[in-house]
Structure 1
């Protein structure tokens, strides 16, 4: 389990870099709200994360159903964190840090037991 989580974490570091760079560009350069910036950054990063985790971490196949399950769950978390941050006027860097931690833990659990689970033989 720890080996799998470590692989997920490595992909997560790359995914987080993508997410943060896009978020910061949209928020600071294009002056978008946190919720929108976080959601768009998420959409780009989550696609990378889905395909790399499917192949590298879980050694599983990809399908539209799995992609939709993954994107819907992670997207809901992304939007919720961004919306709460906008509402509470939380610093964008703190917002991204909070989202990164939450998505690492809950994303791994959801991926392992729902999206990429293997059927019992």
Structure 2
């Protein structure tokens, strides 16, 4: 495979992991919330579990990271996901409250923007030096 097709294939795998983690997050949240957990606690737990799952799939399957410094990579991944959450919230707020877009349209646009940024930061900062 040439560079472009390798990158496209990696991006598709990254997107698949993202979709599955989003579903995991929502399912865990709804189960915990329906079981009586306070919704903020349910959100923290579901987000944390899906972020861990995302790290495992991204490091082993998408980027096939084999670097020596796993602690640094893990910390970078956590920082990136906190940044992604903040960025996602800001973009969604601007699109819906300031530009008056429909919430679902805003969510779709926000997800696409953050997914691309998240992929690029994962590739060039979090999992830099990958062997795949």
TM-score computed with the length of structure 2 as normaliser? 0.64
Question: Match of 1:15?
Answer: 21
1:58/1:44 CA distance change after superposition, 3 Å: same
Greater shift in the superposed pair: 11-20 or 73-82: 73-82
The C-alpha deviation readout for 1:50-99, integer Å capped at 9, x for no partner, is 111111011113711111111112123324545876xx6xxx97887566
Question: Match of 2:62?
Answer: 57
Q: Which ranges in structure 1 are unaligned for 5 or more consecutive residues?
A: none
User: What is the number of equivalent residue pairs in this alignment?
Assistant: 113
Question: Match of 2:124?
Answer: 113
State the shift of 1:13 in Å: 1.6
1:45 corresponds to 2:50: yes
Give the distance between the partners of 1:37 and 1:98, measured in 2 at CA: 25
Q: Which ranges in structure 2 are unaligned for 5 or more consecutive residues?
A: 1-6, 98-102
Greater shift in the superposed pair: 105-114 or 19-28: 19-28
Give the distance between the partners of 1:65 and 1:21, measured in 2 at CA: 30
RMSD of equivalent CA atoms: 3.5
1:38/1:107 CA distance change after superposition, 3 Å: farther
